Amino acid sequence: MQNSIYFAEEHEMLRGQIRRFILEKVIPFGETWETDGTTPKHVLTEMGKLGFLGIRYPEAYGGSELDTLMSVVLAEELGRSTFGGFAITVLVHTDMASPHLVNAGNEEQIARYLPGIVKGELITAVAVTEPDAGSDVAGLKTRAVRDGDHWVLNGAKMFITNGVHADLYFVAARTNPAATGAQGITMFIVEKGSPGFTVGRTISKMGWHSSDTAELVFDDCRIHERSVLGGVDRGFYAIMQNFQNERTVLGAQAMGEAQKALDLTIQYVRERKAFGKTLWDKQAIRQRQAQLQADVEAGRQLVYHAAWLDTQGVDCSKEVSMAKAYCGELVNKVMYTCQQFHGGFGYMRGSAIERMVRDARIHAIGGGATEVMLDEIAKRV
């Protein structure tokens, strides 16, 4: 992003590295991953070797100790890949699940797990959402009961990205049955293969086909007390803390997708002829493209500013909520128009635009639905 007040040379170096990786290692294989329903683990391992998975984590554990804007660069470029399932597979690992370990884990937990996470050898997932509790975290029903030096978990989680193939899960459960609402929730580290923990079923989705999504079942799942993450009954605050980072990168991913859709559409309408002229020659079409470009630029700047505020240590809950709400709706508007200008081609399976339209729909739902974000903004105005 040239001439930007937010980005320095090191940000642009990372942007170039990610673009090359996507061009060489993602684009040629993405359609296969869509059919398979997952992004192969070796792809994340390769990204780990290049330093993409530990951008903001301590150097002592293989990370780079960089800033929030670096995560924005990563998310934006992953969005530009045109494979939303691949993008979210990576971002859940880097910016939605593993931050729980870094933010709340003790020294022993971080030393045990973080090196493998940064290398892409341990893939992570965060398990908060339940059949009856999504954006309303306070409605969690999964229970954890202490039994000696263990905790016993019972309940189910739903719509968990990386749920099938993750190695490590950060699970929210209610540990104080007398508490109501946000009180009495604890985060736990649960390893794949823990007794009583199973992947219930793989969930088929409208979009994000190259991302595996699962239901998780905890049936008297026993885990040692050393797996408590960040203190008993403190989980709600950890979830809320990471929501800001999660929503920032989702906004960046959405704007990366929107910009790529515009790029593909402008190229298409410049070449596609109708009634003796290219579609670009039609004033109405090129002006709608220009307006969408202005809208996407506005969305990008919202995301960049929120990320910059975070680097300054400023409370940016309002700005992050604005970015998430605006970008989640805007990317769907962009995709609708871009598909329209692709005509019948844009409706055919196998075209990038058709896939991107399906993938974009979740941006107004996941990570905090637009309506929830607007209420968060309203509390602060």
- Directed axis angle between helix 352-360 and helix 84-91, to 10°? 40
Strand partners, 161: 213
Is 65 designated active site?
A: no
Distance from C-alpha of 347 to C-alpha of 352, rounded to nearest angstrom: 10
Distance from C-alpha of 120 to C-alpha of 124, rounded to nearest angstrom: 9
What is the residue type of 302? L
User: For residues 144 and 74, is the Cβ–Cβ distance under 8 A?
Assistant: no
Q: State the virtual CA torsion across 348, 350, 356, 357 in degrees, nearest 10.
A: 20
Tokens of 197: 């923990």
Distance from C-alpha of 89 to C-alpha of 105, rounded to nearest angstrom: 22
How does strand 168-174 pair with strand 124-127? Answer: parallel
User: For residues 262 and 313, is the Cβ–Cβ distance under 8 A?
Assistant: no
Tokens of 204: 């088929």
Catalytic-labelled residue, pool 34, 130, 215, 246: 246
End-to-end CA distance of the chain: 31
* Residues annotated as catalytic (active site), given as ranges: 246
